[in-house]
Amino acid sequence: MSNAARRLLSAGLALFIALVFASTLSADNKFINSDDAKEKDEPQKFLPDYDKLVKGKDADWVYFPEGDLKKYKTVLVKEFQNGAKGREAKEAASEGKEYMEQWMQKQGFDVVDKGSADLIIEGNIFNAWEPSGAARVWGGWAANPGVGIELLIKTKSGQVVGELRQKAKGSTVHDAVENGLEDCAKSIAKGR
């Protein structure tokens, strides 16, 4: 076998191995293959494309069909829905709009209260929890309050340009909402 044939065979084999490895990695990065997708008490009814969510950089799970959303300048944030049960989820949903507006402004977007905007953000609280007294004392960070947040981002024409799903913790449920939406706003700005 000549040198050129050996090199070609080696290059082909290396490419084949790289493709197999890349497809294996991408399967592990999909939401539908994750432990998060298997949680029984966390409904998956708000976002249209759970199967397209992949691991995000700042937010846990993201889908941006167009990539980064910096070309859009104005944002309208709607009141958040409460897709979970309990007082904590209701409180978390009531604060979602305000925190989302705050973090979108910090990412350089102009937030409008009403009227026409380039992007419309709808939010959903799919879970919220406050650990009991003993768990708070002995559980450390793992026992902190937390929330599960979903965001659906559309253009003014209704085209979906972003979907995010994030779980966040904080010292209180309010703090967890703010922490989660900060990560989501960073992901929206970066498109990943």
pLDDT along the chain (192 residues), means of 10: 62 51 57 90 90 95 92 96 89 95 96 93 94 64 84 96 96 93 94 88
Distance between CA atoms of residues 184 and 150, nearest Å? 9
Q: Are strands 119-129 and 74-77 parallel, antiparallel or unpaired?
A: parallel
Please report the pLDDT score of residue 10 as a whole number: 60
**Buried residues in 75-103 as b, exposed as e (16+ CB within 10 A):** bbbeebbbbbeeebbebbbebbbebbbeb
Please report the pLDDT score of residue 188 as a whole number: 94
Please report the pLDDT score of residue 14 as a whole number: 53
User: Hunting for tokens 């990943």 — which residue is that?
Assistant: 192
The one-letter amino acid at 174: H
Please report the pLDDT score of residue 192 as a whole number: 87
What's the whole-model pTM score?
0.81
Please report the pLDDT score of residue 23 as a whole number: 42
Q: Is 42 helix (H, G, I), strand (E, B) or coil?
A: coil
Are 100 and 117 a contacting pair, CB within 8 Å?
A: no
